[in-house]
Structure 1
Amino acid sequence: MHTTQILALDPEFGAQLGKGIGAIALYAIVGLALILAGFYAIDWTTPGKLSDLVRTGKPNAVLITSAGLVSMAFIIVLAITSSASDLTAGLITSLVYGLLGIIVQVAAVRILEWATRINIGEVIQAEKFTPASVVVAAAHVALGLVVAVAIS
């Protein structure tokens, strides 16, 4: 005897799906805003016009900017996961921790550059790869991880 079973979705499935799609869109907006804010904070505190240096392919500017963006993503992701069960709290937490992360990261990287006597303006404007840019990029990623883990 063959029994046919009909699969039915939970009556709340549509509402849950809509809420999930909305949450993704809102987190994407907050995340993009924070990443842009992080980029402009790095640009503002770095000698030279960072967007121009990246656009023209200065290898050190590209490396340092990329590391800064990745480190901001760490902070944003951990802020989201630390309060994933509550959308409003998650969005607020992401925004507050993200902004704090930008401030801490930029300040700490500038202090590290001062301590190591790296002339960041000279490094990011160089036409050729400069090993010192790896130190600055690593500082961005390391500090992003530290701030991200502190959030969770």
Structure 2
Amino acid sequence: MTAYALEQDYWRLLGEGVGAIILYAIVGLVLMLIGFYAIDLTTPGRLRGLVAAGKPNAIVVTAAGLISMAFIVVIAIFTSGGALLEGLLASTVFGLVGIAAQVISVRVLERAIGIDIGKAMHSDTFSPSSLVVAAAHFALGLVVAFAVF
């Protein structure tokens, strides 16, 4: 008969790991919310209302914005390493800087290309310009995420 024993510190390490997951999830959620509101504040119209109303362009831009924010948050957490407190702090700082860089970059790109995103966001019909803005969110989210890395 074979007896299996757990390492002496197993339960402590397991508890610390679970605690770290919960704390990083909270930091990630807060950063995603900040990212959403940053997109909302810099985009004409209330995104939440436009998405709830089923405006297709608002849905496309919001989805791309959230995905791009997730890239930034994931890489900020991934690169934070070290002790838990330092990791949480680094994730928060890198995440906030990344979100600001993302939002500013997308708005500059919209102006440079000449897209009237406000008109597209309120439209009841799909506008291809929303795909350009979505692609800008996606691409710049990757750029900013890898800058954090």
Instruction: Establish whether TM, by shorter chain, passes 0.5.
Output: yes
What does residue 107 of structure 2 align with?
110
What does residue 71 of structure 1 align with?
68
* CA–CA distance in structure 2, aligned partners of residues 6 and 78 of structure 1: 41
**C-alpha contact 1:78 1:148 (8 A) present in aligned 2:** yes
Q: Tell me the C-alpha RMSD between the 2 structures.
A: 1.0
Report the secondary structure of 1:148's partner residue. helix
What residue ranges of structure 1 are gaps of 5+ in the alignment? none
Normalising by structure 1, what TM-score? 0.94
Q: Report 1:3-152 matches (<5 A).
A: 4-152=1-149
Supply the AA of the counterpart residue of 1:122: K
Which of 1 and 2 has greater Rg?
1
* CA–CA distance in structure 1, aligned partners of residues 16 and 24 of structure 2: 12
Percent identity reads 56
Report the secondary structure of 2:89's partner residue. helix
* CA–CA distance in structure 1, aligned partners of residues 89 and 82 of structure 2: 13
**C-alpha contact 1:79 1:90 (8 A) present in aligned 2:** no
* CA–CA distance in structure 2, aligned partners of residues 129 and 113 of structure 1: 17
Report how many aligned residue pairs link the two structures.
Answer: 149
Deviation at 1:85, TM superposition (A): 4.1
* CA–CA distance in structure 2, aligned partners of residues 32 and 58 of structure 1: 25
Deviation at 1:107, TM superposition (A): 0.6
Give CA deviations for 1:81-121 in whole Å, capped at 9, x if unaligned: 11234221221111111111111111110001001110010
* CA–CA distance in structure 2, aligned partners of residues 133 and 42 of structure 1: 14
Supply the AA of the counterpart residue of 1:34: L
What residue ranges of structure 2 are gaps of 5+ in the alignment? none
Report the secondary structure of 2:75's partner residue. helix
Report the secondary structure of 1:27's partner residue. helix
